[in-house]
Structure 1
């Protein structure tokens, strides 16, 4: 439980800091530095493990199944890009919970491909589907030249890509290359996608990498990954996964406390619904 809560806190802090960091340093620079830190963290994890990650990656490449692993990684990288873009122009208290409702997409894809139906899946799905639209019901935000609606769209795109990516990872990547291998591919794809974003932005600079906020964000992301790995290593994957999915709620809470991101009671209800739904879907 402690590792799961720490993972949620780390990713919640990462998303909370991503918005102002992306506005100052650019979306591409923010994602590049965080993804690069993730690659380093997973590389250290692999070097000290005994799960044969590198041989499994090579075997997947030789057998022709690596294409599915790569597609899953690219979907996760695209989701990170959408999420960072949404956090840069919208309220973190709303964008993050919507993005974390990816479990609804994963559940729908799982049901469509014949996986066993669970009552908790329907409950979590309904909470996410009902809660996500409520978070955008604020006429003041919707009137700001479409900026807020764009943030919501980015969050929804991130949820879809995360959901599809995680579904593919559970079905193809993890069985083929293991958890560490799937994470490594995800972060490498994140680096590549962020480099494309950097070229398009033409605003990134080496000075951005010296930003204390960016360093803290990367450290929080790596710490969350370490907690996730430690929790899974203790044989408590289900508990760790459920608790780590509460990161969207933590981001919302941080935004409300430290940035005074005012929310209507309808929006707050939507955020609570999405957060609880994400946790239920992880059960």
Structure 2
């Protein structure tokens, strides 16, 4: 559970720093730095962790990486063309809910209290991810079209597939599943940037932020993999999906951004859900 919360914190901080960089340059230029930096960080520590990965497990890791890369591309495409206050919570719901359902269906032992906490956490994720609608939002040209809907559902489902596939890989594979999956995702992101005409370095003011986001991404992915190896997919996926709470809190502390009543309710429910999951898992 601790590793899952570390992963959630890392993902939230990485998104916050990456979001700051994206305010200064095109988002594809940001990921052109963050993904290779994250991959380089994993390549440095993977040999120290030992393990090996080959055969069908290697294929699974590559499929998971492809799912992760597509999820990022689809998610940002949905955010760019659709209403964020719909896209973000719907994606978060799928990312938290689908692995939870998969874990329960495949027979992971969870007590009633832990299940209740997990369901509460799913609600918290949606509330925390939801941005308050403003007059600007209502007057803006963005609409939740069929295309945006498919991109949103596709990104949430692809992130969930990545979570599930990573959980299927053997414990003796070390950090190599992350290296392979991140390498595959990096290749997809680079190709997307090339196709979109954004295959160039971000502005100087965004480089340091992008590098920091990449290093944080390597840390949180490592914590997530360790969480899967020491806990249940149903619990780990939900706890990790609480990462928007860290992003919201950092935006308030560093940028002075206001949190709406819906987000504050989500933060409170997130704290309660963590307590329930911890106590319920201990009982189970």
Aligned to 1:81: 73
2:166 aligned with 1:169, yes or no? yes
Once the two structures are superposed, the pairs formed by residues 241-252 of structure 1 within 5 Å of their partners are 246-252=242-248
Equivalent-residue separation in structure 2 for 1:271 and 1:158 (angstroms): 24
2:215 aligned with 1:215, yes or no? no
Following superposition, the deviation at residue 142 of structure 1 comes to: 4.0
Aligned to 1:143: 138
Equivalent-residue separation in structure 2 for 1:32 and 1:259 (angstroms): 25
Deviation readout 1:161-201 (Å, 9 max, x if unpaired) = 22222112213xx1287351221122112211211220232
Bigger mean CA offset, 22-31 vs 134-143: 134-143
Equivalent-residue separation in structure 1 for 2:229 and 2:103 (angstroms): 22
Change (3 A) 1:70 1:2: closer
3-state secondary structure, aligned to 1:25? coil
2:211 aligned with 1:193, yes or no? no
* Count of residue pairs the alignment pairs up: 268
Equivalent-residue separation in structure 2 for 1:257 and 1:37 (angstroms): 27
Aligned to 1:42: 42
2:63 aligned with 1:71, yes or no? yes
Equivalent-residue separation in structure 1 for 2:229 and 2:62 (angstroms): 27
Following superposition, the deviation at residue 13 of structure 1 comes to: 1.8
Aligned to 1:105: 98
Contact kept in structure 2, 1:107 and 1:281, CA below 8 Å: no
3-state secondary structure, aligned to 1:77? helix
2:177 aligned with 1:182, yes or no? yes
3-state secondary structure, aligned to 2:215? helix
Following superposition, the deviation at residue 224 of structure 1 comes to: 3.7
Deviation readout 1:210-263 (Å, 9 max, x if unpaired) = 72221222233234456x28x949x99449958765432111101223333333
Equivalent-residue separation in structure 2 for 1:121 and 1:79 (angstroms): 27
Contact kept in structure 1, 2:32 and 2:190, CA below 8 Å: yes
Aligned to 1:125: 119
3-state secondary structure, aligned to 1:46? helix
Structure 1 unmatched ranges of 5 or more: none
The TM-score with structure 1 as length reference comes to 0.71
2:249 aligned with 1:253, yes or no? yes
The TM-score with structure 2 as length reference comes to 0.71
